[in-house]
Chains A and B, each alone.
Chain A
Amino acid sequence: MLKDWKLKEIVLMSLFGVVFGIVYLVFIHFGNIWAGIIGPIAYEWMFGIWFIVSIISMYIIRKPGAAVLPETLAALIEVLLGNAVGPRLILSGLVQGLGAEAAFAATRYRHFNLAILMLAGAGSAVFSFIYGYFISGYAALDPSFVAFMFTLRVLSGMVIAGMGGKYIADGLLATGSLRGYAISRSGKGDAGA
């Protein structure tokens, strides 16, 4: 799979991981303050920020693996930076990335419109929720509460990762700095379809 990748594309994904790692830190301050008071639900609404690297990378690079790789790389970088959540992140990064990748694979990497990007955001949310359900023991919680958490996370994936990711990548595209990447070659073809 990696054979088709240019080195500059992989390094780009890695740097995106760093940038969004910083953004995530900004947000996690909001989360941490609330987590003690309102419990783990404090993080649910902003889960989408975690998935955004996948969406942006896939939207820009458009190659199989462009969703799962950056998410895993981003998690690995977080660990290198001494993120206290540690090695667990790598596993959850992989799972989330697979969720988004599944959505793109299901459409055979042909279309990259808003609906599919939002679907990919939702995919990440679903996968990460299943993983969380197991590892954090959501089974112990009241089903209606679990359903509420799930809805919140999926919405966050669709809105923050899907819509937000497209918005950011389009903003970046407009600057003209993405020349030489698939997104620039695609023309107007599928961007709005």
Chain B
Amino acid sequence: MPEEVIRLNNLSFRFPDCSKAVLHNVSAIIHRGERIAICGPSGCGKSTLLYLLNRLYPLNCDGIVSGEIRLFGKNGEHYAPGEINRRIATVFQDPDAQFCMPTVEEELAFTLENLHIPQADMEERIAGILSLTSLTEWRHSKIHSLSGGMKQRVAVACALIMDPEVLLLDEPLSHLDPVTARDFVCWLDRLQQLRQLTIIAVEHRLVHWKSFFKREIRLGKDGRVIADGPPAEIPALLFPSRLSGKAAEEALRIQGLAVEIDGKTRLSPLSFSLTRGEVTIVAGPNGSGKTTLLKALCGIHQASGTIQAISRRGYVPQSPEFMFLTQSVSQEVAYSGISSLQEIKGLMNRLDLSTIADSHPFSVSHGQKRRVAVGAMLADKRQILLMDEPTAGQDAASLQELYTLIGQRTAEGAAFVIVTHDMSFALAVADSVVLLKDGAMTGKYSAADFWTRDDLLLAHHLLAPEGVAIHEASIE
């Protein structure tokens, strides 16, 4: 057995302003070279556990810890600030919020300066890590101009340049499209073998990781370890079967819709139509114009061409709180004053918002925020709902909730246009798929025969979801 690097003894943790503990009696021993996934539903304390391992907590949140964390055979509390971070490095979830210098090279140098590496040695270490991570040609690139996938690689390079023994990852794939995520995992696999790293990742969906992890620590809702062992067989996320709500009546017909911003063509003329109760997925690589299409449909972007529709279109951004204007959920839904009180009440009930009617819309859970946003749009009598990346960073429970929400609304005659990277979700929910690439529409396909078109999928940076086979089988 390789040596032990981390040992948790009955670790419990709670935040100062909350009496309920986030983690309960967590015990585990982690050995050098292990690949561990920490899984569990939202709010189970997986990220908290990660922050305890790299010592960002409890100092940063004044949290209360009981039990013991032993890092490399020494009590975690006996390390000076910053000392442990050289041996236990971390890559965070949001690719946009973990850099502070303009270029890749300067960002790497920032890390070396933190470690007080003599200037004479810096060049060699930077060149070395760039070649190890195959990033040499991006050395002088501006970080903010890189794609999400490249940013995550740069973040890993910045972590590895410290020569750490343990690498912590906080949901590193949640902002990446499927092909980029797959490539990232292969790349990381090679690095782990080269460096004999211990990798511990927080992840709520292991699908994209294939067989990367050898051990899974599963936390329950209450912050206790409920399983610790080889990863459970990855269950394809199964959504309850749904009858398509697709009706015959046409809800939306667009012809020659095109968008030009500051003299640049963002969307070449495209045409398609949608019926009531239909769910259309818009998919394509990052930067292919998906969000532009949604914004043009609801009038945020000026567009040429014609749009005929049964109602105005409602837009739900990726962060639903961007659209909130009031101090309570009920005011938020009633904001426009278009629906009558009676209608609002019915709507709140159907969306299951009555229990949180007086809460501040920012303080409810992400799933609830999304329901509030959808409620506000429906109360505006907007029967065609445009959702931008509602699946990004969502766990299974939240996805199932979204699935139910869409199913119920389509049954009432609403139509959906949804941008998403999550193909297993798309498979479950879509009646049709609109593919975009480089600002042009490749076509609109019926969901029934779309998922076997590997050529189309690959050309648009998509991967057929794991569930396709099961799905096909269940149809036969």
Q: Do A and B come from one complex?
A: yes
Q: What is the interface of chain A, defined by CB distance below 8 A to chain B?
A: 6, 8, 174-177, 179-180, 184-185
The residue that A174 contacts in the complex, of B16, B59, B321, B360, with Cβ under 8 A, is: B360
* Contacting residues, chain B, for A180 (C-beta < 8 A): 60-62
Q: Are A6 and B17 neighbours in the complex by a CB distance under 8 Å?
A: no
CB-CB nearest in chain B for A173 = B360
Q: Which 10 residue pairs are nearest across A and B when measured between Cβ atoms?
A: A175-B362, A176-B363, A174-B360, A180-B61, A176-B362, A175-B360, A6-B60, A174-B327, A175-B363, A8-B60
Which chain B residues border A176 with CB–CB below 8 Å?
Answer: 360, 362-363
Interface string of B58-89 (1 = CB under 8 A from A): 01111000000000000000000000000000
Contacts of A174 in B (CB 8 A): 327, 360, 362-363
Q: Quick one: which of B17, B321, B327, B360 contacts A184, CB cutoff 8 A? A: B17
- The distance in angstroms between the C-alpha atoms of A175 and B364, with both chains bound, is 9
| B363 surroundings in chain A (CB, below 8 A) | 174-176
A and B contact pairs by CB, cutoff 8 A, 23 listed: A6-B59, A6-B60, A8-B60, A174-B327, A174-B360, A174-B362, A174-B363, A175-B321, A175-B360, A175-B362, A175-B363, A176-B360, A176-B362, A176-B363, A177-B362, A179-B15, A179-B17, A180-B60, A180-B61, A180-B62, A184-B17, A185-B16, A185-B17
Q: Name 9 extra pairs, CB < 8 A, besides A179-B15, A184-B17, A185-B17.
A: A6-B59, A8-B60, A174-B327, A174-B363, A175-B321, A175-B363, A176-B360, A179-B17, A180-B62
| Complex Cα spacing A56 to B21, Å | 31
Note all chain B residues with C-beta closer than 8 A to A185. Answer: 16-17
Closest to B328 in A: A174
Q: What's the Cα separation between A185 and B16 when bound, in Å? A: 9
Question: Shortest beta-carbon distance, A11 to chain B, in Å?
Answer: 9
The residues of A that contact B362 with a CB separation of less than 8 Å are 174-177
Determine the distance from Cα of A8 to Cα of B15 in the docked complex, in whole angstroms: 17
Interface residues of B in 6-42 (CB under 8 A from A): 15-17
Nearest CB on B from A80, distance (A): 11
B328 to chain A, nearest CB (A): 10
CA distance A179 to B62 in the complex (A): 11
